[in-house]
Amino acid sequence: MRIVMTGGGTGGHIYPALAIGKAVKEQHPDSQLLYIGTRRGLESRIVPQHGVAFEHIDITGFRRKISWENVRTLVRFYKGVKRSKELLRRFKPDVVVGTGGYVCGPVVYAAAKLGIPTLIHEQNVIPGLTNKFLRRYVSAVAVSFAESKQYFRPCPDVVHAGNPCSTAVLRANRSKGFASLGLPQDTPFVLVVGGSTGARAINEAIVEVVPMLEKLKSVHIVIVTGERFFEETEATIKKVLPIVSNRIHLIPYIHNMPEVLAATSLFVGRAGASFIAEITALGIPAILVPSPNVTNNHQEANAKSLVDAGAAKMILERDLSGSTLFNELSDIVENTSRHNQMAKASLTLGMPNAAQTILDQIHRIVR
């Protein structure tokens, strides 16, 4: 099988594509994969590191306000379609899979015009502009949240598959997660993380929580600050707590996130699609602080899906403080029954077979 994958701009688009590619290679070891992205996007660095062939097109995203830049973007789009057709004719794929981000627009559109079977995957509850545009041209759609299906009419073939990132995290070694943090096995800990680059608002709130830690049970707190915020967060903690508790672990970045998540008792962080897929696959209760700086405010919709199911609590960033965060933390940490109920609710939302479901869709449209 020959498969072209496309999607980019953020890891939330890239890693699901790579997870799909990995599932394809596991079932069809002789498959050939090609990833089409942009030179400026994260995909240009991440994809080659995973041993996948990479080609690029020149494309930018549309602005939501009327501007001359959108005229230039439209010109780039048609040039991107032309370049994509050249790459597709050369590679001769059996199917093209898009996972969102503006780069997949011209690639998937070009494939549809060439008569190549196409599938798009939407990670968030509210689809992005590109996937909304492509819904009229693709062969099939896979969504992470059941609530997303309504947005993909008139495409008749929409499947609730989940996010393929959830498949990978279930294979993670829990023991290695504890060991990498220097914690004894089965130590209960709260993982606080603001995404790959960190989140100042979450860091500031958890710093305010640190002096209150002694009020909680013997739970540890692992704070992943993001590399750019590490030194200032460390300095602030030392100011508010000169003798730092050995139950506080400050880390700039985690390279083995699946293993650490597999060991986590409670998650505090953003409501990005990949994190949500991973914590629900593992059944981890969560306190979610959606980023207000994302398109369509889609993280709040993502978080609400978990809140409605009883799997998470949500604090909007405008309401986030040390006291609001501590209240939610203590309510879950101190109440074993509530923690267990949330964990069970989280598991009901998990889609551990997401990659296989998407692969089944690919097999169906290719045939």
Q: Which residues are annotated as a binding site for UDP-N-acetyl-alpha-D-glucosamine?
A: 10-12, 124, 196, 254, 299
Distance CA 346, CA 332 (A): 14
**Helix H or strand E segment including 173:** none
Q: In this structure, what token pair is assigned to residue 161?
A: 């598959």
Residue whose token pair is 């479901």: 357
**40-252-288-316 Cα dihedral, nearest 10 degrees:** -80
DSSP per position, 193-253: E--TT--HHHHHHHHHHGGGGGGS-S-EEEEE--GGGHHHHHHHHHHH-SS--TTEEEES-
| Angle (nearest 5°) at CA 99 between 95 and 100 | 130
Q: Largest alpha-carbon pair distance within the chain?
A: 66
Which strands make up the sheet holding 189-193, listed edge to edge?
248-251, 220-224, 189-193, 266-269, 286-288, 312-314
Closest by Cα among 11, 46, 5, 42 to 23: 5
CB 213 within 8 A of CB 28: no
Annotated binding site: 10-12, 124, 196, 254, 299
Non-local CB neighbours of 300 within 8 Å, separated by 6+ positions: 271, 290, 292, 314, 316
CA–CA separation, 149 and 168 (whole Å): 24
Alpha carbon distance 164, 172 (integer Å): 14
On whether the CB atoms of residues 357 and 142 are closer than 8 A, the answer is yes
The dihedrals phi and psi of 5, each to the nearest 5 degrees, come to -115, 145
Alpha-helical (H) ranges within 39-196 are 43-49, 68-91, 104-113, 129-134, 165-169, 174-181
